[in-house]
Amino acid sequence: MVRPKIITFICIIGYLSVVFTFPQVFSPQIKKLGVLMPAIYGILVAANFIACVGLWYFKQWGVQLYLVSVFAKTLFYLLVDQLGFGFYSNIVLSVIFMIILLRFFPKMDPNL
Amino acid sequence: MLRVLFKESLFFAWQSLVANKLRSFLSLLGITIGIFAIILVFTIVDGLESNIRGSIQSLGNNVVYIQKWPWDFGPDYPWWKYMNRPVPQYYELDDLQKRCKSVEALAYRIGKRKTIKYRSNSIQNAVVAGISHDFYKIKNFDLSSGRYFTQNETDAGYHLALIGANIASGLFPNEDPIGKEVKIGGYKAVVIGVIKKEGESLLGISFDYQIVTPFNFARYFLDPKSENSDPIIYAKAKPNVTNAEMMAELTGILRGLRKLKPMAEPNFALNETSLISKGFDGLFDVIGTAGWIIGGFSILVGGFGIANIMFVSVRERTNLIGIQKSLGAKNFFILVQFLGESVMLSTIGGFFGLLITYLITLLGKDAIDMDISLTSTNIILGFTISILIGIISGFIPAYSAAQLDPVEAIRSN
C-alpha cells in the first residue's frame, strides 16, 4: 500500500524534531542532569528517528517503536522534572499522531 | 544464533572499512573534528569550573566578607554609591568579636603587591598580606615546613613571615628558607614557615605567590586606612548558623558601630562566596553553549558525510547484497551489517577525537599550572555521541539495503 500523506506529514514532523532534539543530547543542560543522562536521552532520540524511518516505509514495527519511544520520552521528562509548555504540547501532538497511526496499523507491512 | 549473526555482520562491516582505508578515514574526519571540538570545550569548562569551585571551597561556604565594595558584577553596577564608603578598620574586629554571637571566628586582612628581596634574589608583584591571629581559623594554612604565628607574635607585631611555595622556590632555590631574613618594603622579616603549594587559582587567591605577616607588623608598610590595601574582615559562621542569620547580626552591629541612622543605607558590603559562583555560572554556560553549537554543527556535517558514504557503499555492493540474500541472508543481517559499518566508522572517529583532546590536555597541563583533564563523564559523552550519530546517519542506507529485492539487486550494474 502507498504511504498516506498524513503519515508522510507525521514522518516529516518526526525528522524535524530529531534535527532539533539531537543537539540537546550533548548540551550542557542535559549533561548537568547526570553522567548517563546524555546517553539515555540520545537513545530516545535515536529510537524516535528509527521509528520515523519505519513509518516512512509504512511498517508496523515503526508504529510499535514510535509508541515505545513516546512513552519512554515522557517518562524521562517526568523523572528529570523538565515539565513545561514544550512537554505538554509534545504529549498532545504525540497522542494525536498515535491515534492516526493506530488507524493505519492493520494496513501496514508486518515484515521487517 | 543471534550472536553468530552479529559477529558475522560486524566482520563484513570491518572488512569493508579496511578495504577502503582512505575513504573511511575521510568519512570519519568530520566526526573526529566534531567530537574534538565539543569534548575539548566541555573539558576546559569542567577544569575551569572545578578550579574556581575548589578555590571557593577552600574559602568556605560559611564565610562572609565585610568590605567596602559589594561583589555585584551586573551591568548596572552603581559604583558612585560605594565610592565614599569607609574601609573596614582593625578596631571594628574587636567590637565584632565581643558582640557577635553567631560567628565562630573573625579575622582581619590587608594586602598589597610589593617586591620581596633576599640577598640578590627578588620577586616582584608578590602579594604581601597582614593578618590578625585568627586568620588560620578562616583559611586553614597547610604548611610544608615551619610553623604559624603565636598569639603573642601576632599581637606584638613581630617581624615574621610565612611565604608561599613559589616565593620560597624563587628566593631560596638552593637553601631552606626557615630562619632567613627577607626584605619587604624596606623592612626585614624572618621566615618561620612555608605554605604548601596550592597551584594556580583563577580567583587569584592561591597562597603560592603570597607572603603573610602579622597585621601589627604589616601596618608599617601597608596603610590599613587606604583602599589600596584592600582591608577585609572575614566572618565565619558557627556550624548551626546560616550565613543569612550571621549577616543579619553583623549588619545590626556594624550599623551601630558606624553610627548609621535607621533609614540610612549601609556603608559596608557583606559578600558571600556564593556570589562568585553565581557570577561564573553564567560565564560557564555561555562558553559551554558556544562549544556545543560549534561542535554540534561539525558533528552534523560529519553525520551527513557518513550517511553519504553509506549510500555509496550500499550502491557499490548492491550485487553482493543480492547474492547474500539469495543465499539465505535475512533483512536483519543486511541491516546489522551496514549499521555496524556506520557505527564502527563513527566510533573510530570519536575515538580519534577523544585521543586528540586527551593529548591537548596533557600539553595544556604543562603549559598552565591547572588541572584540566579528560573526565570519564566526557569520555562517555564522546562515545555516546559517536555511536548515536553512527546509528542515525547509517540507519536509512542500511535499511534501504535490507529492503532490496534479491533478484533486482543481482541484476543491477
Phi, psi (degrees; rounded to nearest 5) at B164: -75, 165
How large is the ipTM?
0.86
Which of these, B217, B224, B160, lies nearest to B192 by C-alpha position?
B160
Give the model's pLDDT for residue B63: 87
C-alpha cell at B211: 607572603
Give the model's pLDDT for residue B58: 66
Asked if the Cβ–Cβ distance from B384 to A46 is below 8 Å, we say: no
pLDDT in tens, B287-315: 878 877 888 888 888 888 899 999 998 99
**A16 shares contact with chain B (CB less than 8 Å):** no
Nearest to B384 among A28, A39, A112 (CB): A39
Report whether pLDDT(B77) > 80. no
Report whether pLDDT(A38) > 90. no
CA distance B231 to chain A (A): 38
* Site from A3, A19, A21, A26 to mutate, B interface, most B CB atoms within 10 angstroms: A26
Give the model's pLDDT for residue B267: 87
The answer to whether B214 and B128 are in contact (CB under 8 A) is: no
Confidence of residue B75 (pLDDT cuts 50, 70, 90): low
Put residue B368 in one of left, alpha, beta given phi > 0 → left and psi -120 to 50 → alpha: beta
Asked if the Cβ–Cβ distance from A28 to B296 is below 8 Å, we say: no
**Residue B131 three-state SS:** strand
CB atoms within 10 A of CB B48: 17
Place of cell 628558607: B177
CB atoms within 10 A of CB A78: 11
Contacts of A22 in chain B (CB under 8 A): 388, 392
**A31 shares contact with chain B (CB less than 8 Å):** yes
**B285 shares contact with chain A (CB less than 8 Å):** yes
Give the model's pLDDT for residue A55: 94
Rounded mean pLDDT, B49-61: 73
Asked if the Cβ–Cβ distance from B381 to A31 is below 8 Å, we say: yes
Which of these, B240, B236, B244, lies nearest to B134 by C-alpha position?
B236
**A101 shares contact with chain B (CB less than 8 Å):** no
CA-nearest residue to A112 within chain B is B331
Cite the DSSP H helix spans in B267-375. Answer: 273-316, 318-326, 331-367
Angle among Cα B146, B151, B153 to the nearest 5 degrees reads 65
Beta bridge partners of B127: B113, B210
pLDDT in tens, B184-227: 988 999 999 999 888 766 565 678 889 999 999 999 988 888 88
pTM score, two decimals? 0.71
**A24 shares contact with chain B (CB less than 8 Å):** no
pLDDT in tens, B382-403: 998 899 999 999 999 999 999 9
Rounded mean pLDDT, B37-56: 81
**Residue B22 three-state SS:** helix
Angle among Cα B203, B209, B215 to the nearest 5 degrees reads 95
CA distance A39 to chain B (A): 6
Asked if the Cβ–Cβ distance from A31 to B403 is below 8 Å, we say: no
Asked if the Cβ–Cβ distance from B381 to A26 is below 8 Å, we say: yes
